[in-house]
Amino acid sequence: VTTLEDPDTPFAVVDRARMERNIGRLGMRLDKLGVPLRLHVKTAKSLEVAERVHPTGPGPITVSTLAEAEYFADAGYTDIVYAVGIEPHKLARVLGLRRRGVDLQVLLDSTAQAEAVADASARTGEPIPALVEIDCDGHRAGIRADDPALLVIGRTLVDGGAELRGVLDHAGESYYADTPETQRQAAQEERDAVVRAARRLQEAGLSCPTVSVGSTPTAHAATDLTGVTEVRAGNYVFFDLVMAGIGVCAIDDLALSVVVTVIGHRPDKGWILTDGGWMATSRDRGTAVQKVDQGYGVVTDLSGRVLPDLLMSGASQEHGTLSLRTGSTQDLPELPVGTRVRILPNHACATAAQYAEYRVISGDTVSDAPEIEATWRRHNGW
Ligand SMILES: Cc1ncc(COP(=O)(O)O)c(C=O)c1O
């Protein structure tokens, strides 16, 4: 039997019971709202995780890299949205995937990209389907739903030999919405923006079959998705401290953690040192802007019980520093050299990205040394 005491640290752990609970929770919500999920595989980048979301066989997915698209295509996934604005040099790989029978759709928000996609489509006689990215909250890319460029982009695609598949947006600002009400508002704005954009395209005689929304906070807050054809979410399979910090989940829902080992002590400073630095957790400090700053992560014992007020407060490349939260009245726990603890991360996507694989524990029973039941690969890179 292999347990969390066995592999050399640091390594990433997935608590399967928590993950399955998270997957079930969003699945039930979306069933009620009557909109299918297009899983974003960027968080876990794992076939086994996707299999839990789509147990009856490959379903629709979203990817953030062509490497993910190729990896999932190799495993039989044929309905894929590449949800990062297309860069024309990558169109050769897009066409390569499409020739393998994958309905890979690209995303764009400019006439320059639309022209490049139309040119590649016309040159090969293979229409590439594209979604136009709509900006609903000023967070990142996209054009506003009422931007005149929307119709120009749509016409450029259609007249140039490509396919206008629809519109897509992502309420990235919802990660800063820390009340149920502001999360509901973000979900509403995310929905309203793409529905408005879709209507404009249709009124101009352009077809717009796909109306795609999604982020983990808005997927959990939406109350009405009329006019929306799919919801994308990825982080929710693991959740993380940022999501717990805005109340989308509880700390007990966090399914990803990193096992590290105590390598020393600095009693004069109140520090416990570990072999897990920012290479192990990533440098993500997402909770720094939240009501409760969780440092580089919340510390639990190997069984997953939170050690009160103990945070991973500092990180260099391969050293982690654990100390008590400022103002804590707890005593620093006794963790002799060689003790293993787990770190719950700020941002699951960033932490998972440090690893090539997950050690999986069932999570069904509490144990001082949980058994590793499986190892699941991740597919990193571009
Ligand atoms: C375009 C797009 N759609 C969907 C998502 C999924 O969001 P989340 O990870 O919050 O579920 C992301 C995540 O960054 C994204 O960039």
pTM of the full structure: 0.97
Single-letter amino acid, residue 376: W
pLDDT at 189: 98
Q: Please, how many CA atoms are within 13 Å of residue 157, restricted to the half-sphere of its CB? A: 30
Taking the C-alpha atoms of residue 160 and residue 225, their distance in angstroms, rounded to an integer, is 32
State the closest ligand 1 atom to the C-alpha of 168, by its place in the atom list counted from 1: 1
Sign, CA dihedral 190-194-197-202, equals negative
Q: Ligand 1 centre and the CA of 233: distance in Å?
A: 6
Nearest atom in ligand 1 to 83's CA: 1
Cα(61) to ligand 1 centroid in Å equals 12
Q: How far is the CA of 140 from the centre of ligand 1 (A)?
A: 12
Name the pLDDT band for 301 (thresholds 50, 70, 90).
Answer: very high
Helix, strand or coil for residue 29? helix
pLDDT in tens, 341-378: 999 999 999 999 999 999 999 999 899 999 999 999 99
Give the pLDDT confidence of 227-270 residue by residue, as tens digits: 999 999 999 999 999 999 999 999 999 999 999 999 999 999 99
* Residues 162-207: tens digit of each pLDDT: 999 999 999 999 999 999 999 999 999 999 999 999 999 999 999 9
Specify the pLDDT at position 47. 98
The two three-digit tokens of residue 22, written as one number: 């998270």
Instruction: Check pocket membership of 40 for ligand 1, CB cut-off 6 A.
Output: yes
The alpha carbon dihedral of 354, 359, 360, 365 has a sign of negative
* Cα-based distances in Å from 127 to 47, 105, 158, 244: 29, 10, 9, 43
Which tokens go with 191? 């929905």
Query: What average pLDDT does the segment 104-110 reach?
Result: 98
Q: Is 83 in the pocket of ligand 1 (CB under 6 A)?
A: yes
How much distance in Å is there from the Cα of 280 to the middle of ligand 1? Answer: 23
What six digits make up the tokens of 179? 């009340």
Position in ligand 1 atom list of the atom nearest CA 64? 16
